[in-house]
């Protein structure tokens, strides 16, 4: 269940793949640093990275495997686990208005190695329940990331 009380479908592989910068099938602290660097142009976020790893790395091996990631994102974890995804959302939300704009999503997708066209991004926003002027909320982002592929647009 997400913070709004909705239950989300499983299938968060695209979101996992975005965070798995080195494509080794698991998310490390270095992968999360790369995510932050891609969005902010520098490293940082060590406190948030530590919190995300603490919440998601349930087997304490220093990595977040897909099953651990899915448990957190799908809401099958403790409520504190939502902090990890909310932190990702805050990093993406450059102007801090609580919504991801066309530019926020396009920047995020490009930094993650998934270039989105000017046509793809509005489709993602619409799919997430947002509009071109207001953008998409946290719940909308979770809906977008739950797709098995962006080919559904």
Helix (H) or strand (E) holding 89: helix 82-92
Span between the terminal Cα atoms of the chain, in Å: 24
pLDDT at site 28: 95
| 8 Å CB contact between 102 and 135 | yes
pLDDT at site 132: 74
Report the distance separating Cα 67 and Cα 46, nearest Å: 23
Return all residues near 126 (Cβ < 8 A) that are at least 6 apart: none
* Domains of the chain by start residue, with CATH: 13-148 (1.10.238.10)
Per-residue pLDDT tens digits for 24-78:
999 999 988 887 776 555 555 677 788 778 878 889 999 999 998 887 776 655 5
Listed ranges 65-69, 111-115, 124-128; the one with the highest mean pLDDT: 65-69
pLDDT at site 56: 84
Please report, for residues 24, 56, 65, 78, the alpha-carbon distance to residue 139 in angstroms, rounded to integers and kept in the order given: 28, 19, 23, 17
Report the distance separating Cα 27 and Cα 25, nearest Å: 7
Q: Is the dihedral of CA 67, 152, 82, 34 positive or negative?
A: positive
What is the average pLDDT across 118-144?
Answer: 84
CA atoms within 13 A on the CB side of 21: 16
Report the distance separating Cα 66 and Cα 46, nearest Å: 22
With a cut of 50, say whether residue 3 has pLDDT above it.
Answer: no
Placement of tokens 């939300």 in the chain: 93
């Amino acid at each position: 269940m997400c913070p709004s009380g909705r239950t989300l479908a499983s299938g968060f592989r695209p979101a996992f793949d975005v965070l798995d910068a080195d494509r080794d099938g698991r998310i490390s602290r270095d992968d999360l640093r790369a995510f932050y660097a891609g969005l902010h142009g520098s490293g940082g976020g060590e406190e948030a990275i530590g919190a995300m790893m603490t919440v998601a790395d349930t087997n304490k091996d220093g990595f977040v495997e897909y099953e651990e990631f899915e448990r957190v994102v799908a809401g099958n974890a403790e409520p504190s686990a939502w902090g990890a995804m909310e932190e990702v959302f805050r990093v993406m939300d450059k102007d801090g208005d609580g919504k991801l704009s066309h530019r926020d999503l396009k920047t995020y997708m490009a930094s993650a190695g998934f270039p989105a066209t000017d046509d793809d991004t509005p489709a993602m926003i619409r799919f997430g329940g947002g509009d071109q002027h207001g953008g998409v909320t946290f719940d909308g982002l979770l809906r977008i990331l739950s797709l098995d592929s962006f080919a559904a647009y």
